[in-house]
Amino acid sequence: MYSGGYAGRILRINLSNKTAKEEPLSEEMARDFIGGSGFGIKYLFDEVKPGTDPLGPDNKLIFAPGPFTGAGIPSASRMAVTGKSPLTGAVGMALSGGQFPAEMKFAGWDAIIIEGKADKPTYVAIKGKDVRFHNASHCWGTLTSDCQQIIKDELHDQNVRVCCIGPAGEHLSKIAGMINERRAVGRKGLGAVMGSKNLKAIAIRGTDPVDIASKEKYSTARTALLKAFKESPVLYSEFSQHGTPMVADLTGAMGVLPAKNWSETGEFVPVEGIGREAQATRKVGREHCHDCPVGCSQLKLAQTGEYAGILSEGPDFETVYSFGSGVGIDEIDPIVAADRLADELGLDSISAGVTISFAMELFERGILTLDETEGIDLRFGNDEAMIKVLRKIAYRDGLLGDLLADGSLAAAKKIGKGAEKYAMQIKGLELPGYDVRGLKGHGLGFATSYTGADHCRGYAFQEVFGVPVPWEVDRLAIENKGKLTIWNQDVRTATLDCAPMCAFLLDMAVPATACQNTASLMEAVTGLSFTPEEVLEAGERVNNLAKAFNVREGFTRADDTLPERLMTEPLKAGSSKGQVISRNDLDTMLDEYYSLRGWDVKTGTPTRAKLTALRLAYVADALGL
């Protein structure tokens, strides 16, 4: 039995009848799924029935930190939030850092399951085992930072941690996220799920320390991890100082920084105006997640024109892309302002920016007219238009706001006229900031991610950063990319999503020893003995379970695809000029991927043999295999 790391308690909150009850955490659950996304996906598959309306009361939200969270392990104040995505209809899982995850553990909870629907706007205040339901009518309509302050004042505790939605979640925008402090639970529309439940916020406070199973082993494992941090050639010297925006320079040089809705990648490369050096001129500080020495979150202050004086924690690389190169903007201050506004409104900055860039291309092609944009000149590079449309999306304001509030795919289906061709999404989720025509394994990761186009579900750091772990790769080749993608997805799931720990650990600090690092920390913190192979198997188990959920919802091999543009339009300029992922290339990679996964190659469905080997025979029964 575990003797540390876990609190041993799950909190189940039913908003319909305003009840809260405690449930035990079994050793089997801890061993097979570790925590974080593992717990979330397990509860999602077991408790959310096929065909459930993502915005109905039967959908659930599972907040789950991990065994290392709050235990003094650097980069481990993380949590996964899981539910059925209203944007995709598939597994919706997003990660967030900051202080809130650690506070959950200090309050004594390994997961919080939210179910039902409140009859009026509500926020839940949790102080240790004490759970109270508060009327949130006076908070409904507030921006996220204002909501947090109102609740802190009302609870007479400035140290309470608050995770909330903004107007976008209240208006059920399917690209709405949540904000805790300044950190986002951004993607897959989970903020709309929270809004559909009339849940404005969760406020949490705890005082109990996390138990450690073996202080001696803990000291050894933690020291080894910090040593790896210090020995990394980039973690402190580059990443700690500049954060993810430095990736804009790298992807620009590689010719894979997406531009103007992916129509001018390699041609429009505005790194001079939005890259690392430009951002450094706006940096006024940085913030650390709980117990993290890295402090990668950069505070930026806009300094020019109407944006002067706007402060944002960011923008991170993905936001630099989505509100920058992706929409044709070549200066930093509008991006800082848009990043702050998206956080205040509770919008996913990636999906929001990509959806706006989609609308801009349609406008320039004459598919959307001035009448349909309500007089907004939606040309690429128009930062004023971008800011206006962000607000419209969050409030579903007017025809345009309502059209774009559910993301690019839903908008394209309403518009018709061939608009779907220009919606840069997979399974309904908008693409992150890597033009995978020049990163073939990364492209396969996008296509096969159980959440849709998600760079965090199998990031090919080997291709992006040239790290030769577990082996050296050619970013432009398709050979062995199925094997690479499986390794990236399973290792990342177990060591980063389930533990959970910061994703940059794998890329920059412990790429060669990630599973051993997690195994050592698990034994030291929890007392559960793991081998690196068992850690890897846990990642495989969670990925198979997530895939099974999607299969049960009707997803097939046909959904593991890429936008038409990426398969038919070679890049026209830059270091990746001429590159494309043809339909044949993708099929070749998918065949390898499914075969090595032990899945049915024709359908992309896990087999009974594979599920049984992973102790998921009941899942095979549920799928009728």
CA distance 549 to 43: 11
Of residues 214 and 503, more confidently modeled: 214
How many C-beta atoms lie closer than 10 Å to residue 477's C-beta?
A: 12
Give the chain's largest Cα–Cα span: 69
Query: In the structure, what pLDDT confidence band is assigned to residue 71 with cuts at 50, 70 and 90?
Result: very high
Query: In the structure, what pLDDT confidence band is assigned to residue 296 with cuts at 50, 70 and 90?
Result: confident
Check: CB of residue 143 under 8 Å from CB of residue 169. Answer: no
Range scoring the smallest mean pLDDT among 202-206, 367-371, 382-386, 455-459? 455-459
- Would you give the distance in Å from CA 566 to the centre of its chain? 22
**Phi first, then psi: what are they for 338, rounded to 5°?**
-65, -35
Fold adopted by 245-424:
1.10.569
pLDDT at 506 over 80: no
Residues of the chain with CATH 1.10.599.10: 436-562+582-623
Which amino acid does the sequence have at 61? L
pLDDT at 297 over 90: no
CA distance 585 to 438: 13
pLDDT at 505 over 80: no
Q: Looking at residue 182, what is its pLDDT?
A: 87
Average pLDDT, the chain: 96
CA Rg value for the chain: 22
Q: Looking at residue 154, what is its pLDDT?
A: 98
Q: Looking at residue 623, what is its pLDDT?
A: 97
Tokens of 357: 């860039």
- For residue 356, CA distances in Å to 382, 416, 508 come to 11, 17, 32
Handedness of CA 252, 254, 257, 263 (dihedral sign): positive
Check: CB of residue 570 under 8 Å from CB of residue 584. Answer: no
CATH code of 436-562+582-623, in short, is 1.10.599.10
CA distance 566 to 213: 50
CA distance 232 to 230: 6
Query: In the structure, what pLDDT confidence band is assigned to residue 192 with cuts at 50, 70 and 90?
Result: very high
Per-residue pLDDT reduced to its tens digit, 336-391: 999 999 999 999 999 999 999 999 999 999 999 999 999 999 999 999 999 999 99
Residues of the chain with CATH 3.60.9.10: 9-205
Residues of the chain with CATH 1.10.569.10: 245-424
CA dihedral 532, 535, 536, 541 (to 10 degrees): 160
Q: Looking at residue 173, what is its pLDDT?
A: 98
Query: Of the candidates 293, 426, 289, which has an alpha carbon nearest to the alpha carbon of residue 350?
Result: 426
- Would you give the distance in Å from CA 384 to the centre of its chain? 27
Give the angle subtended at the CA of 35 by the CAs of 30 and 41, to the nearest 5°.
105
- Work out the end-to-end distance of the chain between its first and last CA atoms, rounded to an integer number of angstroms: 33
Q: Determine if residue 19 is left, alpha or beta; phi over 0 gives left, psi from -120 to 50 gives alpha, anything else beta.
A: beta
Per-residue pLDDT reduced to its tens digit, 403-429: 999 999 999 999 999 999 999 999 999
- Extended strands (E) in 278-414: 283-287, 297-301, 311-313
pTM above 0.95, yes or no: yes
Of residues 502 and 165, more confidently modeled: 165
pLDDT at 291 over 90: no
Tokens of 51: 């065909």
Per-residue pLDDT reduced to its tens digit, 130-162: 999 999 999 999 999 999 999 999 999 999 999
Per-residue pLDDT reduced to its tens digit, 564-608: 999 999 999 999 999 999 999 999 999 999 999 999 999 999 999
Per-residue pLDDT reduced to its tens digit, 229-262: 888 888 777 777 777 888 999 999 999 999 999 9
CA distance 316 to 318: 6
Which amino acid does the sequence have at 215? K
Q: Looking at residue 203, what is its pLDDT?
A: 98
Q: Looking at residue 429, what is its pLDDT?
A: 98
Check: CB of residue 604 under 8 Å from CB of residue 444. Answer: no
CA distance 518 to 515: 5
CA distance 536 to 517: 12
**Percent residues over pLDDT 70 in the chain:** 100
CA distance 479 to 477: 6
pLDDT at 269 over 80: yes
pLDDT at 79 over 90: yes
- The average pLDDT across 504-524 equals 89
Per-residue pLDDT reduced to its tens digit, 485-500: 999 999 999 999 999 9
Fold adopted by 9-205:
Aldehyde Ferredoxin Oxidoreductase;  A, domain 1 (3.60.9)
Q: Looking at residue 286, what is its pLDDT?
A: 85
Check: CB of residue 549 under 8 Å from CB of residue 90. Answer: yes
Query: Of the candidates 289, 296, 187, 285, which has an alpha carbon nearest to the alpha carbon of residue 242?
Result: 296
Query: Of the candidates 499, 472, 468, which has an alpha carbon nearest to the alpha carbon of residue 97?
Result: 499
Per-residue pLDDT reduced to its tens digit, 528-550: 999 999 999 999 999 999 999 99
pLDDT at 508 over 90: no
Range scoring the smallest mean pLDDT among 4-18, 229-243, 319-333, 405-419? 229-243
